[in-house]
Structure 1
Amino acid sequence: MATQPPLVGLAAALASQPPTRTVFAQFSLVEKVALVTGGGRGIGLEVAAAFAEAGAIVYCLGQSKQPHDDFVAAQEFVAQMPPLAENVKNGRMVYISGDVTDQKQMWKVAENIVATEGRLDICFANAGILRAGADCLEYSAEDFTEIINVNVNSVLYTAQAAGRQMEKLGIPGSIILNAGLAGSISIPKQTWVAYTTSKSAIIQMARPMACELGPKGIRVNTVSLGYIYTKMTKQFLDNQPGLMKEWSSQNPLGRLGRTDESRGVCLWLASDASTFCTGSDIIVDGGHRAW
């Protein structure tokens, strides 16, 4: 039986507890430890910085041996923040290098984090790749396999790595898988059969994992972000004049999302503010699927 959280909100009021502000505390990640793959740049780095700002120790796994300048800037920015509270340690970011497509290596990464920090509470399986692709009737086996290996297999390995440690330590952790817009719909005029397949697989992967791990107190959810303007998407858009305008017109807000607009939903899923949410796909797409 999972440990019941302290009374908050209406329950605290009806129990005549002294009035205290708990709504912001529910989003706190103080003393929690997180693993973020693809954490060296882009959305992964943005979310990792948010976790650290909320008080977590965040291990950011990237493919390169040395961190990108973006990571160094974010790490220093977080380190210079004022204290969260008296006698409370601020969060921090740690860069580690690894291969997300190596199952045993990912399991070892999580083991090493626990050996150092004593716990692992949060996992954001975010690493993924996007290729220009090819016509669905001509898509090569090699290219298709590469997309599936990075975008699907590695997500399983990462979730396994974190989940194994959470189960071992009895931690009611949160595992978040980065799916995306392409997991639910086709992207107009793009030959993305492999990428779309991979993102759809992630959404479905989370559901049985949530059912299996729920009794252990471990939650599993997916985040489906719409078009987010990152350095990766910028490179893709720059090669196709007019595509930025076209993509912007496909949602009611009339623009692409910013990387910082991924922070709130991931922080919510990582924190105690979402303790009754599991097996869900949280859509943050500027209303793209509301038309």
Structure 2
Amino acid sequence: MLMWSRIRTQSASPLGKLGVEAALEAAADPSITPKPKIFDEFALTDRVGLVSGGNRGLGLEMALACCEAGARVVYCFDLPEKPSDEWIASRDYVAKLGNNSRLEYFSETVTDQQALWKKTEEIGDKEGRMDFCIAAAGILRSPIDCLEYPAEEYREVLDVNASGVLFTAQAAGRQMSRFGRGGSIILIASMSGSVTNRGHAWISYNTSKSAVLQMARSMACELGEKKIRVNSLSPGYMYTSMTKAYLDKQPHLLDVWSNMNPMGRLGRPNEVRGVVTWLASDASTFCTGSDIVVSGGLHSW
């Protein structure tokens, strides 16, 4: 009995009894009126988040989803001094949702560790908490033969796609640790971190995304005792502003990429909304150190 009591205490949901436990409680107490709790598990009510690469593309899509889930505020940052038209439209959209959520924007580079730490500390001072982080900033360069890849470009890609992810996760994780509530850190990797882009010389991109997968596992092991969960999310070929610019130069790749998965098409940015909300919320409280692949089944072949 003592062991069972300890297990129940360790694993208790912050939302109280759920599922079968809730049904048994209601059966024992007829005064209880059952109500659905599954959507409460996915809610991000009053939570504070940080999203790198949040000016457009996947980063903005995921930030908006978190606002729809009830986050108090999601701070997006990116390189441009002023946010894009897409970001402004999304901010205005969030303001009209009527759930007291808001989007904020600031300009910063993911490669400046100290500046990012300082800015996130200021956010912590203002909001009094930090609950989730989505490290989505990344760059893509034209493919170059691995034997000819220039050092400067290789370092640039790794600096943004690997080091920048770490610095973003550190910035948010430091605040999560400071407030002692735990949190969820989501590192945006890629299916390119676990498979090779066939026919494309993307050694810097593949290497950086592989580093992110290992980074998530390593950080999950270190931060678990602080109740900070760290997972990676690996999208397949998605049609974003970044890939659009790439496909505009090499349109033949559209059919190549589309036929590389059983779905026979590219993914939409909004097809990661549910997964990222799940990872940020209490619906995934026992998930850490995992890589969630959203690739249209590319890994199945």
Correspondence for 2:68: 53
Q: Decide which of 57, 64, 67 is 2:83's aligned counterpart.
A: 67
Out of 274, 280, 286, which is 1:276 matched to? 286
Specify the alignment match of 1:27 in structure 2.
Answer: 42
* Counterpart in the other structure of 1:138: 148
Distance 2:190 2:280 in 1: 18
Give the Cα–Cα distance (whole angstroms) in 2 for the partners of residues 264 and 241 of structure 1: 30
Question: Equivalents in 2 of 1:240, 1:98: separation in Å?
Answer: 31
Give the unaligned 5+ runs of structure 2: 1-9, 27-31
- Residue pairs, 1:67-146, within 5 angstroms: 67-81=83-97, 83-84=98-99, 90-146=100-156
What TM-score do you get using the length of structure 2 for normalisation?
Answer: 0.92
CA distance in structure 1 between the partners assigned to 2:120 and 2:11 by the alignment: 23
Q: Deviations over 1:222-274 (max 9, x none)?
A: 00000000111011111113210111011111000001001111000000000
Q: Post-superposition shift, 1:40? A: 0.5
Letter in 1 for 2:222: E
Query: 1-side partners of 2:13 and 2:268: how far apart?
Result: 36
Percent identical pairs in the alignment equals 54
- Of 212, 225, 228, 2:222 maps to 212
| C-alpha spacing 1:2/1:142, structure 2 compared with 1 (3 Å) | farther
C-alpha distance after superposition, 1:163-201 (max 9, x if no partner): 111111102200000001110111111110000000000
Looking at structure 1, the residues matched to 251 and 290 of structure 2 have their Cα atoms a distance apart, in angstroms, of: 36
Task: Tell me how far apart the structure 1 counterparts of residues 133 and 119 of structure 2 sit (CA, whole Å).
Answer: 12
Larger-Rg structure: 2
Q: Which residue of 1 aligns with 2:4?
A: none
| Correspondence for 1:37 | 52
Shift of 1:3: 6.8
Whether 2:255 is the aligned partner of 1:239: answer no
Root mean square deviation, CA, Å: 1.2
How many positions carry a matched residue from both structures? 285
User: What 5-or-longer segments of structure 1 have no aligned partner?
Assistant: 85-89
Q: Is the 8 A contact 1:229 1:256 kept in 2?
A: yes
* Aligned 1:160-199 pairs, distance under 5 A: 160-199=170-209
Q: Tell me the CA shift for residue 104 of structure 1.
A: 0.7
Matches of 1:106 and 1:11 in 2, distance apart?
Answer: 43
Q: Deviations over 1:29-58 (max 9, x none)?
A: 110000000000000000000011111110
**Paired residue for 1:87?**
none
Contact 1:79 1:92 in 2 (8 A): yes
* Structure 1 letter corresponding to 2:67: A
The amino acid across from 2:298 in the alignment is H
Q: Kindly indicate whether the alpha-carbon contact (under 8 Å) linking 1:2 and 1:217 is maintained by their aligned counterparts in 2.
A: no
> How far does residue 109 in structure 1 lie from its aligned partner after superposition?
1.9
